[in-house]
Amino acid sequence: DQQVKQNSPSLSVQEGRISILNCDYTNSMFDYFLWYKKYPAEGPTFLISISSIKDKNEDGRFTVFLNKSAKHLSLHIVPSQPGDSAVYFCAASPNDNYGQNFVFGPGTRLSVLP
Partner 1 sequence: DGGITQSPKYLFRKEGQNVTLSCEQNLNHDAMYWYRQDPGQGLRLIYYSQIVNDFQKGDIAEGYSVSREKKESFPLTVTSAQKNPTAFYLCASNRGDETQYFGPGTRLLVL
- Judged by the rule CB under 8 A, the positions of this chain that interact with partner 1 are 2, 4, 9, 32, 34, 36, 41-46, 49, 89, 93, 95, 98-107
Q: Which residues contact 83 (CB under 8 A, 6 or more apart)?
A: 112
Pick the closer one to partner 1 by CB: 64 or 89. 89
Name the minimum Å distance from CB 90 to partner 1: 9
Cα separation, 34 vs 47, in Å, equals 7
Name the minimum Å distance from CB 93 to partner 1: 6
Buried b (16+ CB within 10 A) or exposed e, 25-49: beeeebbbbbbbbeeeeeebeebbb
Pick the closer one to partner 1 by CB: 9 or 16. 9
Pick the closer one to partner 1 by CB: 13 or 50. 50
Name the minimum Å distance from CB 112 to partner 1: 21
Half-sphere exposure at residue 35, Cβ-oriented, CA atoms within 13 angstroms: 29
Pick the closer one to partner 1 by CB: 13 or 36. 36
